[in-house]
Structure 1
Amino acid sequence: MAIVLSIAGVASALIGSAGTVQAAPARRAQPCGPVMFVVPGWQDGGAQKLLDPAFAPEGANPVRIPYPNSVNDINLYTDVDAGVANLRTALYNLYVTYGCDLNTKVYIVGFSLGALVAGTVLETEPPGRNIQGILFADGRRQPGESNWPGDPGGLVGHLPVPGPGGAGFRPLDGFRYPTLSLCNGPNSAGGSDLICFGGTNLDSYFSSHPYYSFDVATELRIHGEGPYPHNLRNRVIP
């Protein structure tokens, strides 16, 4: 009999009072309701809407993935590594500890710093799961498969050294699961978001970077869920 993963149930089970991912007794594989793992940005950017079930797709219950992202956490490299570890643990708990079968619908959503976390897991999670990724303002966003001719890609991709989450742009065919990558372009209200659209500085951080819908359900209705060519749908908006 299918079980529904409620916010309270999954959040309390996966995330303890200290903000770490907790283990629980293993269960036999069984169908579970859809779940959406959410990795907010620095200082919880986007969290208010991303964690609101009203904006989640297919009745999925949003679950926050904890990682260091407060104003005092300024080592972005180690912060991303911690988020990747916690997101992988949450997936392990879903499939192994709680026994949800591999057909359980899982949405992995990240914004900004959280997109670096989510994107890394979407590139490395073993195949055979029913996963859909949604990235808002990914700093390693690749210029390929874009709806914008001459798309310059994300800021981290332009760095001469490895940035948070890895080196350079994410390679085409890098994602193991269908991933919708969204970035505010030149025609958006605040102009281009230089974090994900060719920036070499942070000038757009307050003018365009924070201003996304964060309405995952609507964005998936507009742009479609996977499968996509190369597991990527790369969209500049508007």
Structure 2
Amino acid sequence: MREVDLKRRWRPLAAVLVLCSLFTAGGTAVAAPARTANACGPVMFVLPGYQDGGAFNLLKPELAPNGANPVRIPFPNAQQDINLYADVDAGVANLRTALYNLYVKSNCDLNTKVYIVGFSLGALVAGTVLETEPPGRNIQGVLFSDGRRQSGESNWPGDPGGLIGKLPVPGPGGAGLRPLDGFKYPTLTLCNGPRSAGGADGICFLGNIADLNGYFTSHPFYTFDVGAELRAHGEGPYPNNLRNRVIP
């Protein structure tokens, strides 16, 4: 699904971006919460892009990997939401709450398979949590068009990396390109490259200012078929927890 009204919303934004416990206090044991029925099967937490970009396919159960249940994580991403920094922070808080509910309120094992998937604005949210969530859980990340996408360890020589990671000040989701060993969990990050039908995606592959045109021609066009992408590129573990692919 295309992000709606791209030109009117993002032309000024693009210019701005470029410029710029089990015990109580008394020691009494507290019973563990009861396991919630059907809560502990494979789950896929989905963070769409601006104006729900990608949500149509990302929320289709038939496109989810290994029978995972797609669950949308709400965060501000509508046309009236103009503070991208606050929007990403809200999404991070909501995704962390969903993980807390899974492991604590629903009492699911840490080995419960969890996919964290984000596109564009949602990728900045998902990527932040994949970088900061405590290790030791069975999590796989998939990012489509991450604005802080790494420039190294990809299949494209001279890969420039993402737009947000090149801002002179911290952008939404943090400062700079994500470090090679930044992810705590295996993460597949995907970006439309120069040979894509609409050219390179200007959000995740910014070689020069002209590549911002790729925001309108290439950025909205991904399969968002998470199951197929993981079959094609493999699930983790990956070296440095990163599988960085330019497509096609």
TM class by smaller structure? 0.7 to 0.9
Is 1:220 matched with 2:227? no
Partner residue, 1:64: 72
Output the CA distance in 1 between the equivalents of 2:33 and 2:96.
Answer: 17
Residue by residue, what CA displacement relative to the aligned partner does 1:43-90 show, whole Å, maximum 9, x if unpaired?
000000000001000000000000000000010000000000000000
Please list, as runs of the form range in 1=range in 2, the aligned pairs for 1:134-213 lying within 5 A after superposition.
134-198=142-206, 200=209, 202-213=212-223
Residue by residue, what CA displacement relative to the aligned partner does 1:4-34 show, whole Å, maximum 9, x if unpaired?
xxxxxxxxxxxxxxxxxxxxx9325999210
Unaligned runs of 5+ in 2: 1-31
Output the CA distance in 1 between the equivalents of 2:212 and 2:78.
Answer: 18
- CA distance change for structure 1 residues 108 and 42 in 2, over 3 Å: closer, same or farther? same
Please list, as runs of the form range in 1=range in 2, the aligned pairs for 1:1-238 lying within 5 A after superposition.
26-28=33-35, 32-198=40-206, 200=209, 202-238=212-248
CA displacement at 1:40 relative to structure 2: 0.2
CA displacement at 1:135 relative to structure 2: 0.1
Q: Is the 8 A contact 1:29 1:95 kept in 2?
A: no
Partner residue, 1:22: none
CA displacement at 1:230 relative to structure 2: 0.3
Output the CA distance in 2 between the equivalents of 1:94 and 1:39.
Answer: 17
CA displacement at 1:202 relative to structure 2: 3.6
Output the CA distance in 2 between the equivalents of 1:234 and 1:158.
Answer: 18
Give the stretch that moved more between structures: 89-98 or 200-209.
200-209
Q: Is the 8 A contact 2:40 2:102 kept in 1?
A: no
Matched residue type, 1:124 = T
CA displacement at 1:204 relative to structure 2: 1.9
Larger Rg: 2
Q: Is the 8 A contact 1:38 1:109 kept in 2?
A: yes
TM-score normalised by L of structure 1: 0.87
Q: Is the 8 A contact 1:27 1:96 kept in 2?
A: no
Identity %: 79
CA RMSD of aligned residues (A): 1.6
Output the CA distance in 1 between the equivalents of 2:193 and 2:44.
Answer: 26
Q: Whose helix fraction is larger, Structure 1's or Structure 2's?
A: 2
Provide the secondary structure at the position in 2 that maps to 1:167: coil
Matched residue type, 2:129 = V
Output the CA distance in 2 between the equivalents of 1:151 and 1:206.
Answer: 20
